[in-house]
């Protein structure tokens, strides 16, 4: 995990040079410490509309396109569609011999500062941010030694990009230049404001962009920064997480929250949060289950509007999902494994392996669990927010149509047991398997929750009012009593691989017969086992890519066999290569719940290193957003035991399992509209709340009145 920097720079942006700041709030990186492209990803600033990687101002043509536009996809070779990419709006005509300096990402303020100095003189002192107060407005203020400039800074001409969907983006900017001093001491202060006006379905209006630019410029960079900081300050008031005695873990979870908040915008009705968010081009901005299973649970707890926008992205693509199900001879809705603009499947059909050979990619055809993951995310959002109107309307549609899909997808054998043949589970090393336990448990959960909702007794582990509103809201086309009863019966027949003899789930039918190889045989984890063994040989072993059965314990614990978490962890963890960035944090979460806190902490540190240390050498393409969500989940759900009480009834569960090294763990969430701050210790929990809340501390329910109190 990245060590706290010893002498981090200030983020003043006023030419004052490096000064001390809080190392648990600042990511300080000296140029040359890491690859430039990795630093650019780590220090990306985004506002849910536009992401700007931390490119240096003098970079005119960086290898990776520095600006990514949210929710706007264009056709692209090999990946179907990709998010629109644009050149940098923050370039300056700096000379070629500029020494290297330091980047400081101030998470609390939402600001990226950069300083370059030589012989004690600051040559560049810049601050940039993507305005959280005005999404789409980006600001650069740079104080530059005039001698470092090769020309006077000017604005680029207007940039316009259109997409086949009829939408597009127009980028306009203004640059104010002030000079002070003379001779060697002369400095130039550059104030640049850029506006990216994005429209998904109609041409973007340059006039509107210019009006927004004029409004923002008239406010001035200082006040724009003030209002931006205020938004971040409100976010942190609700969501901050702090671990006494572990500054590295504190920085890791704040870094995660920073980039997760940055991936959505209050302005957006829908948010297509891709696997790398707005921080880089990998996965082309495609939306995968990473969003529903890893990112959404965080947003639901700290940024309900962002979570709702993430769900809206799927709600608006229910039509294509239903069309696909019909085209495949099924009913209901099947969501695509990789999704982009219009909601059809954009998973690449092939890729190139390490030998340069073309290999088929089967996930688009076979990795079906995403359909249940979407339904799960909808319920998770309702559990945190109590949004009954959503559950009665679009949420119900999601649940019902996904349940219909599973009902039409299963094969029932002569003994009356239901199976899902030929799928890929989260462990992508084994393709085309039958009865993947995770997929089956998720499908079973999906059928049961939809049945309960339609029958009028939804249990989304949340607020009773939400349940009542939802129960009252069903139209016949959205399921009736008979259909619900059939789903309930069917769910009870889906096999789940639970072996009463071992007390654990077999990952898929026949898994236990495979070569019982352990991951450590291939090298220290994480290891890309497919590169070591080759695809075919690997598929004949028990080595798995990532949390699979273990993932079911996190998402749908009540579907897993009672008491099976320990046995499943014992069996699968040694077989897990962590070949996916989604794996370490999921195991940290599960291990913490199982009380194995030392191992959980080790895996949390591994998860933190995925991006902060570029552990898998893939961070240059953007941050792994699922891993960031997983880090928060490991700390909050795993170590803190904080989340919707599984027994429902509107209680927030709190059940800390803290590592020995940790003192107090402080967590902030928004529980059904009420900001709640928790202080967790081994000997008690302090609950601070703005309105009464019911908490279930280690299973015992208590009503806490504001401003709060200790519950022991």
Asked if residues 611 and 627 have their Cβ atoms less than 8 Å apart, the reply is yes
Query: Quick one: CA dihedral 659, 660, 662, 665, positive or negative?
Result: positive
Span near ligand IFM by CB under 6 A; candidates 261-269, 285-293, 599-607, 630-638: 285-293
Q: What is the bridge-based pairing of β-strands 665-671 and 241-243?
A: antiparallel
The enclosing H or E element of 301 equals helix 296-302
Query: In the structure encoding, which two tokens stand for residue 698, read together?
Result: 């280690």
Q: Which one of the spans 23-31, 283-291, 311-319, 444-452 is the region binding ligand IFM (CB under 6 A)?
A: 283-291
* CB nearer ligand IFM, residue 240 or residue 428: 428
The single residue of 292, 428, 431, 506 carrying the catalytic annotation is: 428
Which window, 286-294, 316-324, 444-452, 464-472, contacts ligand IFM (CB under 6 A)?
Answer: 286-294
φ, ψ at 130 (rounded to 5°): -100, 115
Cβ 314 to ligand IFM, closest distance in Å?
Answer: 15
The answer to whether 81 is a known catalytic residue is: no
Give the nearer residue to ligand IFM in terms of CB position, either 626 or 634. 626
| Residue ranges in 426-445 that form contacts with ligand IFM under rule CB under 6 A | 426, 428
Collapsing DSSP states into helix, strand and coil, what is residue 46? strand
Pick 209 or 631: Cβ nearer ligand IFM: 631
User: Which residues does 553 contact at the CB level (< 8 Å), separation at least 6?
Assistant: 560, 564, 565, 568, 590, 593
138 binding ligand IFM? (CB under 6 A): no
CA distance 27 to 114: 12
CA dihedral 494, 495, 500, 504 (to 10 degrees): -110
Q: Please identify, using beta-carbon distances, which residue of 630 and 640 lies nearer to ligand IFM.
A: 630
Cβ at position 631, least distance to ligand IFM in Å? 14
**What is the x/- site pattern for ligand IFM, positions 581-600, by CB under 6 A?**
-x------------------
Instruction: Tell how far CA 564 is from the center of its chain.
Output: 28
**Single residue of 273, 288, 398, 628 touching ligand IFM by CB under 6 A:** 288
Give the C-alpha separation, 217 to 623, whole Å: 31
First to last CA, the chain: 33
Residue 147 and residue 145: Cα distance in Å, rounded? 5
DSSP state of 294: I
Whose Cβ is closer to ligand IFM: residue 288's or residue 600's?
288
Binding-residue pattern over the window 147 to 186 for ligand IFM, x denoting contact by CB under 6 A? ----------------------------------------
State the nearest-atom distance from the C-beta of 47 to ligand IFM, in Å.
23
Shortest Cβ 338–ligand IFM spacing (Å):
9
555/401 Cα distance (integer angstroms):
20
Q: Which is nearer to ligand IFM, 47 or 428 (CB)?
A: 428
- In the complex with ligand IFM, the residue whose CB is nearer, 39 or 284, is 284
Smallest gap from residue 179 Cβ to ligand IFM (A): 48
- Tokens 């870094």 -> residue: 255
Nearest residue (CB) to ligand IFM, 282 versus 676: 282
Q: Which of residues 626-645 bind ligand IFM (CB under 6 A)?
A: 626
Question: CA-to-CA distance for 468 and 704, rounded, in angstroms?
Answer: 24
- Burial (CB count within 10 angstroms: exposed 0-12, middle 13-18, buried 19+), residue 681: middle
CB of residue 96 to ligand IFM, shortest distance in Å: 37
Neighbouring CB atoms inside 10 A of 5's CB total 18
Among 25, 289, 487, 671, binds ligand IFM (CB under 6 A): 289
Tell me which of 270, 290, 345, 655 binds ligand IFM, using CB under 6 A.
Answer: 290
Residues 345-404 touching ligand IFM, rule: CB under 6 A, are none
Applying CB under 6 A, does 580 fall inside the site for ligand IFM? yes
Q: How far is the CB of 673 from ligand IFM (least distance, A)?
A: 31
C-alpha 485 chain-centroid distance: 35
The footprint of ligand IFM on this chain (CB under 6 A) covers a number of residues equal to: 10
Told to check if 508 binds ligand IFM by CB under 6 A, we report: no
C-alpha dist (Å) from residue 432 to 350, 367, 413, 439, 601: 16, 9, 19, 12, 34
Distinct helix (H) and strand (E) counts, the chain: 22, 27
DSSP labels, 616-631: TS-GGG---HHHHHHH
Beta pairing partners, 287: 339
Stretch that binds ligand IFM, among 240-248, 284-292, 517-525, 551-559 (CB under 6 A): 284-292
Tokens of 298: 């965080």
Question: Which are the catalytic amino acids?
Answer: 428
- Name the site residues for ligand IFM (rule: CB under 6 A): 275, 283, 288-290, 426, 428, 580, 582, 626
């Amino acid at each position: 995990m990245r060590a706290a920097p010893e002498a981090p720079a200030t983020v003043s942006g006023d030419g004052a040079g490096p000064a001390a700041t809080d190392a648990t709030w600042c990511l300080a990186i000296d140029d040359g410490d890491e690859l430039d492209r990795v630093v650019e990803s780590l220090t990306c600033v985004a506002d849910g509309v536009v992401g700007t990687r931390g490119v240096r101002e003098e970079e005119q043509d960086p290898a990776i396109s520095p600006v990514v536009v949210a929710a706007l996809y264009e056709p692209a070779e090999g990946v179907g569609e990709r998010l629109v990419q644009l050149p940098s709006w923050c370039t300056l005509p700096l000379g070629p011999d500029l020494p290297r300096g330091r980047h400081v990402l101030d998470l609390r303020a939402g600001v990226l500062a950069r300083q370059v100095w030589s012989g004690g003189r600051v040559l560049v002192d810049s601050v940039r941010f993507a305005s959280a107060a005005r999404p789409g407005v980006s600001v650069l203020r740079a104080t530059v030694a005039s001698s470092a400039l090769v020309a006077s800074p000017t604005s680029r001409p207007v940039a316009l990009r259109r997409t086949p969907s009829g939408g597009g983006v127009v980028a306009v900017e203004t640059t104010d230049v002030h000079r002070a001093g003379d001779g060697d001491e002369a400095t130039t202060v550059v104030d640049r404001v850029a506006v990216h006006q994005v429209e998904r379905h109609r041409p973007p209006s340059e006039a509107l962009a210019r009006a927004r630019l004029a409004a923002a410029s008239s406010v001035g960079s200082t006040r724009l920064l003030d209002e931006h900081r205020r938004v971040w300050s409100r976010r942190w008031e609700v969501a901050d997480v702090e671990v006494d005695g572990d500054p590295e873990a504190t920085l890791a979870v704040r870094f995660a929250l920073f980039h997760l908040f940055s991936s959505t915008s209050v302005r957006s009705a829908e948010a297509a949060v891709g696997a790398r968010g707005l921080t880089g081009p990998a996965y082309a901005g495609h939306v995968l289950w990473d969003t529903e299973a890893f990112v959404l649970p965080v947003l639901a707890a700290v940024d309900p509007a962002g979570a709702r926008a993430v769900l809206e992205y799927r709600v608006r693509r229910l039509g294509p999902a239903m069309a696909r199900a019909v085209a495949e001879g099924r009913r209901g809705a099947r969501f695509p494994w990789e999704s982009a603009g219009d909601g059809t499947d954009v998973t690449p059909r092939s890729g190139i392996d390490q030998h340069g050979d073309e290999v088929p990619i089967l996930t688009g055809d076979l990795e079906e669990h995403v359909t249940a993951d979407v339904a799960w995310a909808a319920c998770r959002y309702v559990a945190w927010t109590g949004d009954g109107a959503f559950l009665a309307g679009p949420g119900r549609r999601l649940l019902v149509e996904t349940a219909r899909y599973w009902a039409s997808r299963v094969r029932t054998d002569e003994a009356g047991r239901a199976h899902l043949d030929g799928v890929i589970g989260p462990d992508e090393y084994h393709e085309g398997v039958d009865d993947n336990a995770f997929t089956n448990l998720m499908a079973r959960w999906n059928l049961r929750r939809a049945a309960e909702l339609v029958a009028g007794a939804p249990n989304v582990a949340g607020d009773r009012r939400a349940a009542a509103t939802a129960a009252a809201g069903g139209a016949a086309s959205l399921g009736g009593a008979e259909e619900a009863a059939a789903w309930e019966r069917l769910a009870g027949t889906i096999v789940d691989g639970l072996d009463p003899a071992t007390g654990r789930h077999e990952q898929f039918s026949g898994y236990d017969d495979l070569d019982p190889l352990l991951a450590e045989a291939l090298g220290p984890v994480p290891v890309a086992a497919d590169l070591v063994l080759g695809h075919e040989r690997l598929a004949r072993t028990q080595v798995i890519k990532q949390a699979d059965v273990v993932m079911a314990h996190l998402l749908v614990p009540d579907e897993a066999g009672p008491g099976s978490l320990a046995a499943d962890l014992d069996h699968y963890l040694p077989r897990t290569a962590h070949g996916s960035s989604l794996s370490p944090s999921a195991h940290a979460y599960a291990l913490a719940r199982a009380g194995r806190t030392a191992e959980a902490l080790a895996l949390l540190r591994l998860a933190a290193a995925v991006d902060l240390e570029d552990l898998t050498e893939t961070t240059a393409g953007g941050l792994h957003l699922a891993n960031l969500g997983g880090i928060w989940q490991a700390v909050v759900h795993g170590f803190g035991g904080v989340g919707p009480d599984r027994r429902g009834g509107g209680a927030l569960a709190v059940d800390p399992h803290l590592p020995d090294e940790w003192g107090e763990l402080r967590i902030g969430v928004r529980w059904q509209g009420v900001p709640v701050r928790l202080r967790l210790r081994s000997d008690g929990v302090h609950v601070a709340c703005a309105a009464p809340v019911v908490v279930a501390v280690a299973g015992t329910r208590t009503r806490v009145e504001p401003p709060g109190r200790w519950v022991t």
